[in-house]
Structure 1
Amino acid sequence: MVAGETSGDLLAGLLLDGFKARWPALTSNGIGGPQMARRGFDAWWPSEKLAVRGYVEVLRHYREIVGIREQLKQRLLAQRPDVFVGVDAPDFNLDLEAALKVQGLKTVHFVSPAIWAWRADRVEKIRRSVDHVLCIFPFEPALLAAHGISATYVGHPLANVIALKPDRAAARRKLGLKDEDSVVAIFPGSRKSEIQYLALRFFQAAAHIQRAQPAIKFIVPAVPALRGMIEHIAGEAGMRDHLQIMEGQSHTALEACDVTLIASGTATLEAALFKRPMVIAYNMNWLSWQIMRRKKLQPWVGLPNILCRDFVVPELLQDAATPEALAAAVLQWVEAKSSAPDTISAVEQRFTALHAELQRDTSKLATDAIQQILES
């Protein structure tokens, strides 16, 4: 298996639960993180080695990443596992899967590349690289089948992990917060490059919010390896003493908060599953943004909006993601809690319907599909 970042590690860990239940003697190895390690996964390289987003950022790490992929390919071809499962990280995994497949190894890709959102040119590469795709969104198998790619909808594992009705009071008790507090959760990303481009403007936005409403509480879950970096940037923004920075506990933070200021990515779907209003933001290297913008096929970037096919929550991207604009968008949600509760209720209802649509017995559906691949 290969999972290339925090979200991939989480999804792969949940998938491994199903693998171990079906095949108790299973051994697994490759590239992964702490969630996978907890399930007995042997990580030859840590997942953060691949946690790079954006064209320019990838170029800076290109030689190292390509070197890791070549070493991994040779090791897998020597060991010849029963199946290779690439978890997301399509830029890394699809080329690796193609090289393994041509040598007769079974290849499965978990989380379909978002050809419906951008980079439709990837379809041919997917067909060439994988025996089967495990899809987390219900419309994807038919789309892939139209291009001759075998796929199964398995639901989204997080939809089974996150309760349909969140317990905000219990989460607040865990974090030492009061029921009556107004709480903003800040998620500036799980990659170093995201922190570099987003954290300062997120914390500057928090400073604007605090000046408008001094009683607001801010909670910031941090990937342990990036906590020091986040604390340093919080200090630059003059907010170090006004933020509750925690290692991990991202789900507790989402369950506890009233609204989240959040980097675009898998975390936005987690926020939707917790039924939380949010402000989605993203900022990256200027050249990477110009390239990505030209490949975008839909008006939305945030997963909750893409899946609902509507701007259910605001998106502030690149130059629009100023501290002032971010603060104003967050404050609108905070104030709606008392002035326009129907607005909050409408978002909660949309996200509850989405949650129900994504709930499936993911482990069983995924292992059933892989069993068929092994027997074919």
Structure 2
Amino acid sequence: MKNPAVTFAIVVGEHSGDTLGAGLMQQLQLSYPDAKFIGIGGPKMLALGFESLYDMEELSVMGVFEVLGRLRRLLHIRKSLTDYFTLNKPNVFIGIDAPDFTITLEGRLKAQAIKTVHYVSPSVWAWREKRVFKIAKATNMVLSLLPFEKAFYDKHQIPCTFVGHSLADDIPLVSDKHAARQALGLSSSAKILALMPGSRGGELSRLVEPFLQTAKQLLKSEQAKAFELEFVVPMVSDKRAEQFNQLHQKIAPELNVKVIIGKTQQVMAASDCLLTASGTVTLEAALVKRPMVICYKFNPLTYHMFKGFVKLKWFSLPNLLVNKSLVPELLQAAVTVDNILPLVEERLFEDQSALNQAFMDIHLMLKQNASEQAAKAVIDLL
């Protein structure tokens, strides 16, 4: 018997959420082929028939002072969505990541007797732990990507389903470096370093310079002289590529880099080492099984305001998942060429087989048919 038409409201705030949303949509469409999907989505969701009421880029902002500059617009969007979904009640609302925006929205809609799901737990186990009570009040179900998150919610008796990560399902256990290079038109013999300064405008503005300066110094190093060395820069969109190109011309116009748009995972597979911003991309890199050096710089005021509240030894997903220092991390003032260069040299020119085995263990742990599990949890809630 055919399921009746239902409406799924979904809001995502960045490209990693768009990937999760698209996977969830595909699975829900198997059970509800006539379903309507509406809210805020990215390009992958739009390609599946999603109706986006606002551009996803409007929510793609991180940091207290960055948010303050766009607070009026963000509040307007959230109120508009609250009003729209109160009037046009969906069968379920799913907020994917972007917790400071979506959890409040979930709470308002739940108060209107709309079932709500939060997909991707915020880092309540790391800082601002009391947010867990707001999440409990705002949602009917949390869908967690990481196993230790479910244990945290279970402790607080909050409904949570561990679904694994769709990236672990989508990325093959072995990523073919030669095939990726052929597909991208890259050298089969060169050592390739991917420079990955982030998917947000603020990240690029802070990380492009130390990344490019590191690449310049790497060309001068003794180890590098024995190799043909190439630099590749994957960008998530034309807008970010344009921002990178402007910074590149200002900072290091003499440095030869190849910018590739929309093929981040393939660029990672083609590379020997990644110099990357923090975020979901570090998990993707671990699943592709490439060594990496992770850097992050917040707006200075944001960093000084919150550094005392964070309880974590590490900030990157690979290290958090294994609870040890698997890959090097540099934060804020430590993001300097002098610190980055030796870490990149070690991972670019030395054997990394032990690291690859650790990455394989992470891959197998998270490979749980995540989109299918998430869709099942949503359907069970319906």
Structure 1 residues 239, 270: closer, same or farther in 2, change over 3 A? farther
1:326 Cα offset (Å): 1.6
1:239 Cα offset (Å): 4.3
Match of 1:217 in 2: 230
Match of 2:271 in 1: 257
SS in structure 2 opposite 1:36? helix
* Alignment equivalent of 1:354, drawn from 351, 355, 362: 362
1:139 Cα offset (Å): 2.1
> Would you say the 8 A contact 1:188–1:202 is kept in 2?
yes
Say whether 1:245 aligns with 2:259: yes
Say whether 1:85 aligns with 2:94: yes
Whole-angstrom CA distance in 1 between matches of 2:183 and 2:251: 27
> Would you say the 8 A contact 1:203–1:239 is kept in 2?
no
Say whether 1:119 aligns with 2:133: no
Render the CA deviation track for 1:49-104: whole Å, top value 9, x for unaligned: 01111111111111111111000110111100000000000000000000000110
Whole-angstrom CA distance in 2 between matches of 1:312 and 1:258: 17
Whole-angstrom CA distance in 1 between matches of 2:245 and 2:200: 15
Where does 1:124-139 land on structure 2 (aligned, <5 Å)?
124-139=133-148
> Would you say the 8 A contact 2:82–2:108 is kept in 1?
yes
Match of 1:36 in 2: 45
Say whether 1:373 aligns with 2:381: yes
Say whether 1:202 aligns with 2:215: no
Match of 1:272 in 2: 286
* Alignment equivalent of 1:18, drawn from 21, 27, 36: 27
* Alignment equivalent of 1:231, drawn from 227, 245, 263: 245
**Worse-matched range after superposition: 138-147 or 280-289:** 138-147
Render the CA deviation track for 1:341-376: whole Å, top value 9, x for unaligned: 2xx0111000100000000122221122112211xx
Q: Percent identity?
A: 38
1:241 Cα offset (Å): 5.0
> Would you say the 8 A contact 1:263–1:282 is kept in 2?
yes
Match of 2:3 in 1: none
1:223 Cα offset (Å): 2.2
* Alignment equivalent of 2:59, drawn from 50, 63, 86: 50
Render the CA deviation track for 1:115-166: whole Å, top value 9, x for unaligned: 1222212111111110001111112222112212101111100001000111
SS in structure 2 opposite 1:141? helix
SS in structure 1 opposite 2:276? strand
Match of 2:333 in 1: 319
Larger helix proportion, structure 1 or 2? Answer: 1
1:240 Cα offset (Å): 6.1
Whole-angstrom CA distance in 1 between matches of 2:20 and 2:253: 33
Match of 1:330 in 2: 344
- Which letter maps to 1:154? V
SS in structure 2 opposite 1:221? strand
SS in structure 2 opposite 1:25? coil
What are structure 1's unaligned runs of at least 5 residues?
none
Q: What TM-score do the two structures reach when normalised by structure 2?
A: 0.94
1:291 Cα offset (Å): 2.5
Whole-angstrom CA distance in 2 between matches of 1:155 and 1:22: 21
> Would you say the 8 A contact 2:12–2:41 is kept in 1?
yes
Whole-angstrom CA distance in 2 between matches of 1:27 and 1:33: 16
- Which letter maps to 1:15? L
Match of 2:6 in 1: none
Whole-angstrom CA distance in 1 between matches of 2:376 and 2:260: 38
Whole-angstrom CA distance in 2 between matches of 1:240 and 1:283: 25
SS in structure 2 opposite 1:353? helix
> Would you say the 8 A contact 1:184–1:218 is kept in 2?
yes
Render the CA deviation track for 1:313-346: whole Å, top value 9, x for unaligned: 110110000123222211121121xxxx2xx011
Say whether 1:303 aligns with 2:317: yes
Match of 2:11 in 1: 2
> Would you say the 8 A contact 1:207–1:239 is kept in 2?
no
Q: What TM-score do the two structures reach when normalised by structure 1?
A: 0.95
Whole-angstrom CA distance in 2 between matches of 1:335 and 1:241: 21
